[in-house]
Structure 1
Amino acid sequence: MDAQLKKLLDQLQTLDYSKMYNDDFLHTWDKTTDELKALYLVADALRNLRERNISTRIFQSGLAVSNFRDNSTRTRFSFASGSNLLGLQLQDLDEAKSQIAHGETVRETATMISFMADVIGIRDDKFIGEGDEYMQKVADSVDQSWRGGILDHRPTLVSLQSDSDHPTQSSADILHLIHEFGGIENLKGKKVAVTWAYSPSYGKPLSCPQSLITLLPRFGMDVTLAYPEGYDLMPDLVQKGKDYSAETASTFKISHDMGEAFEGADVVIPKSWAAYAGMEQRTELYSEGDTKGIDELEKKLLAENAAHKDWCCTTDLMKKTAHGSDTIYMHPLPADINVVSCEHGEVENDVFDSHRVGLYQEASNKPYAVAAMIFLQKVKDPVATLAALEEADTRRWYQL
């Protein structure tokens, strides 16, 4: 057996992740630390096999159904790639072209798309409280149909971003950090700045920063969350981050000074998000169908954003970090880049361009994270299955 794969499987063997089988993956905080570690190990094992041109198909047929209720590039193609890596064919659900547009219920839709589907991926991140609720309805409906004998198996659900969490993105992020620092055990004590940054657009989800502040402290990373006054995240998730930090004896700080957050940081993650209070208000206006109120609110919030154009990742700010220009800069992409995608944005072009390779490496982890989520929910014995895939040595790409 390949030495690197054996090391990964030996570590996997020591963890308890049995409850992930036949379950869903909606939030990282639903999972134990062992289960998260298993996810990262399986992601790297699948990457190891593919990069050695060994097929990782565990399905000979079956569908992976995606439902993107918001725009996506990286997550859309990561879900397609991760599903295909395991042998599933992708089918995208376009609600405008389905009977959902004619009032079909969530329960009926969930069952109808599931007869030969093994996994359902959903992105629903626009409105506070709605994304998580919708995904739970789909999961409950599928489970009910399976237990009632309508479905011969239970398709598992993967969140591709809700209004609270973005588990596939944060998994890609932490895999990048594991690789950069040479192991998950080396994350402890590293300082991370999760900061707001200016964007000329409004309404970017809170789930990206929330996924980081609730995940990184679980592995002992010291987190500083920085944002201008008024750009608070969901209070219960900030508290969750603080609780995880207390459990691992790490630190969790809140600052309203971007420079303070960058001071001595080993990792910086500047990314715009909408204020929680503003998103709550927008959700309420949408539910009331108040288009005039929505327009007025968005103008107000854009004006508030514009007052904080100085919240930008610059070369001068990077000098405050622990390693200067060599400090790890991360972003889920696409970033708002000064003078490239906008006049003023989240990051200076020089900073972004000097970290482009690292950003692409960060993004490359997401298909494997998605595949690992599916794998652990569909495979009873992951260690034996991964070993068998290597032993079978089926060429993914046949060449003479």
Structure 2
Amino acid sequence: MAEATMEEMIASLKGRDFLALDDYTPEELLYLIDLAIDLKKKQKAGEVYQPLKGKTLGMIFEKSSTRTRVSFEVGMYQLGGHALFLSKNDLQLGRGEPVWDTAQVMSRYLDGIMIRTFEHRRIIELARGATIPVINGLTDLEHPCQVMADYQTVLEHKGRLKGLKIAYIGDGNNMVHSLMMGAAKLGMHISVASPEGYMPNAEVHRASKENAARTGGSVYVCQDPKEAIADADVVYTDVWASMGFEEEQQEREKAFRNFQVNEDLVKYAKKDYLFLHCLPAHRGEEVSEGVIDGPNSIIFDQAENRLHAQKAIMAALM
């Protein structure tokens, strides 16, 4: 990308929110992925790059996390800024203060907000009230920062994204919603296999298909793992009971018993398939040890790239 074009892209992204991948064009998403790869190279080379020097990110955690907290906090430090951890017990939000009021006040103190929460409506309300960028660290509907890291990792290993097939086997949750939209935006083919009663959100499915029609990609949802995984370049799964659904564990184990990603299932994928999992993983449940710890697994490259992908998002928006 030419320098002038990069400057134009930075100008167009500055001050925006990062709530859902559907808010961004394919060109903007590819720019952010390229920026993440560049920032990763800088960090590996020991090059100091601090475009956010003197800036502060407020990190609201209404859901706990390992990777999200560490990657955002370290990322802000590496970019020259400061990250402030705020649990639900640290804020008046937990005691009934309107989201709008919290957003207005935090906008007077901070340069950006990252929130990891439950209802997607909550992050939309926060963004409407804030005058600074709001970044989605996870909601029950979307997990866009994770998917930016996922597709960065695939690009690094495969050398391209457009035209690749990704198969997702498991719960039709926030993870697959962002994967579907990201694949559609980037001209990829995604096939999803989920059991009846646990299919992806119908509106996200529709919107993803509309985007795929414009980029040459495709979105397919079924209930047969073998059908979904056939000739896949990338195989992805997630826990059967996401945070907040732990009480359904036994019920979900029965529903998902034929949806484990194991050595028998991955035989239907391409031999050089990549295995991804957003972690934490339950070995022996949604994925066998032989797959997640096998030669096709790149889960720790994927986890590392949360740092670099989020640095790119923060640097561009803040």
Whether TM-score is above 0.5 comes out as yes
Q: What is residue 63 of structure 2 aligned with on the other side?
A: 70
- Which whole-Å CA distance do the structure 1 matches of 2:20 and 2:76 have between them? 19
- Pick from 3, 26, 34 the counterpart of residue 33 of structure 1: 26
1:121 and 2:114 aligned: yes
- Pick from 273, 277, 282 the counterpart of residue 327 of structure 1: 273
Contact 1:79/1:367 (8 A) holds in 2:
yes
Alpha-carbon distance, 1:99 to partner: 3.2
Q: What is residue 189 of structure 1 aligned with on the other side?
A: 163
1:230 and 2:207 aligned: no
* Residues 31-110 of structure 1 mapped to structure 2, 5 A cutoff: 31-110=24-103
- Which whole-Å CA distance do the structure 2 matches of 1:34 and 1:250 have between them? 15
- Which whole-Å CA distance do the structure 2 matches of 1:69 and 1:124 have between them? 5
Contact 1:231/1:274 (8 A) holds in 2:
no
- Pick from 336, 339, 342 the counterpart of residue 282 of structure 2: 336
Alpha-carbon distance, 1:377 to partner: 1.4
- Which whole-Å CA distance do the structure 2 matches of 1:11 and 1:230 have between them? 49
- Which whole-Å CA distance do the structure 1 matches of 2:219 and 2:270 have between them? 18
* Residues 288-367 of structure 1 mapped to structure 2, 5 A cutoff: 298=247, 302-323=250-271, 326-338=272-284, 345-355=285-295, 358-367=298-307
C-alpha RMSD of the superposition: 2.6
Please list every run of 5 or more consecutive structure 1 residues that lacks an aligned counterpart in the other structure.
Answer: 1-7, 144-154, 198-204, 283-293, 339-344, 379-400
1:258 and 2:235 aligned: no
- Give CA deviations for 1:16-38 in whole Å, capped at 9, x if unaligned: 46331111111111011121111
- Which whole-Å CA distance do the structure 2 matches of 1:135 and 1:79 have between them? 17
AA partner of residue 262 (structure 2)? T
Q: What is residue 121 of structure 2 aligned with on the other side?
A: 133
> Compared with structure 1, are the counterparts of its residues 59 and 303 closer, same or farther at alpha carbon in structure 2 (3 Å cutoff)?
closer
> Compared with structure 1, are the counterparts of its residues 82 and 214 closer, same or farther at alpha carbon in structure 2 (3 Å cutoff)?
same
- Pick from 288, 310, 317 the counterpart of residue 370 of structure 1: 310
> Compared with structure 1, are the counterparts of its residues 178 and 10 closer, same or farther at alpha carbon in structure 2 (3 Å cutoff)?
farther
Give aligned pairs, total: 318
* Residues 209-224 of structure 1 mapped to structure 2, 5 A cutoff: 209-224=176-191
Contact 1:332/1:363 (8 A) holds in 2:
yes
AA partner of residue 375 (structure 1)? A
> Compared with structure 1, are the counterparts of its residues 370 and 9 closer, same or farther at alpha carbon in structure 2 (3 Å cutoff)?
farther
Question: Is the partner of 2:111 in helix, strand or coil?
Answer: strand
Contact 1:17/1:38 (8 A) holds in 2:
no
Question: Is the partner of 1:214 in helix, strand or coil?
Answer: helix
- Which whole-Å CA distance do the structure 2 matches of 1:17 and 1:67 have between them? 26
- Which whole-Å CA distance do the structure 1 matches of 2:218 and 2:92 have between them? 49
Q: What is residue 167 of structure 1 aligned with on the other side?
A: 144
* Residues 12-23 of structure 1 mapped to structure 2, 5 A cutoff: 13=6, 16=9, 18-23=11-16
- Pick from 144, 151, 155 the counterpart of residue 178 of structure 1: 155
AA partner of residue 109 (structure 2)? M
Contact 1:17/1:34 (8 A) holds in 2:
no
- Give CA deviations for 1:209-235 in whole Å, capped at 9, x if unaligned: 000011112222111111112211111
Name the larger-Rg structure: 1
Q: More deviation in 310-319 or 16-25?
A: 16-25
> Compared with structure 1, are the counterparts of its residues 214 and 102 closer, same or farther at alpha carbon in structure 2 (3 Å cutoff)?
closer
> Compared with structure 1, are the counterparts of its residues 32 and 48 closer, same or farther at alpha carbon in structure 2 (3 Å cutoff)?
same
- Which whole-Å CA distance do the structure 2 matches of 1:85 and 1:9 have between them? 26
- Which whole-Å CA distance do the structure 1 matches of 2:95 and 2:164 have between them? 51
Contact 2:100/2:129 (8 A) holds in 1:
yes
> Compared with structure 1, are the counterparts of its residues 88 and 251 closer, same or farther at alpha carbon in structure 2 (3 Å cutoff)?
same
AA partner of residue 38 (structure 2)? A
Question: Is the partner of 2:83 in helix, strand or coil?
Answer: strand
- Which whole-Å CA distance do the structure 2 matches of 1:98 and 1:188 have between them? 43
> Compared with structure 1, are the counterparts of its residues 48 and 308 closer, same or farther at alpha carbon in structure 2 (3 Å cutoff)?
closer
- Which whole-Å CA distance do the structure 1 matches of 2:103 and 2:28 have between them? 27
> Compared with structure 1, are the counterparts of its residues 250 and 62 closer, same or farther at alpha carbon in structure 2 (3 Å cutoff)?
closer
Alpha-carbon distance, 1:11 to partner: 9.8
Question: Is the partner of 2:145 in helix, strand or coil?
Answer: helix
Percent sequence identity is 27
- Which whole-Å CA distance do the structure 2 matches of 1:11 and 1:358 have between them? 35
- Give CA deviations for 1:273-330 in whole Å, capped at 9, x if unaligned: 569xxx9xx9xxxxxxxxxxx99xx55x74254243121111111111111xx41000
Alpha-carbon distance, 1:269 to partner: 0.6
Contact 1:83/1:90 (8 A) holds in 2:
yes
Alpha-carbon distance, 1:109 to partner: 2.3
> Compared with structure 1, are the counterparts of its residues 42 and 354 closer, same or farther at alpha carbon in structure 2 (3 Å cutoff)?
same
TM-score, scaled relative to structure 1: 0.73
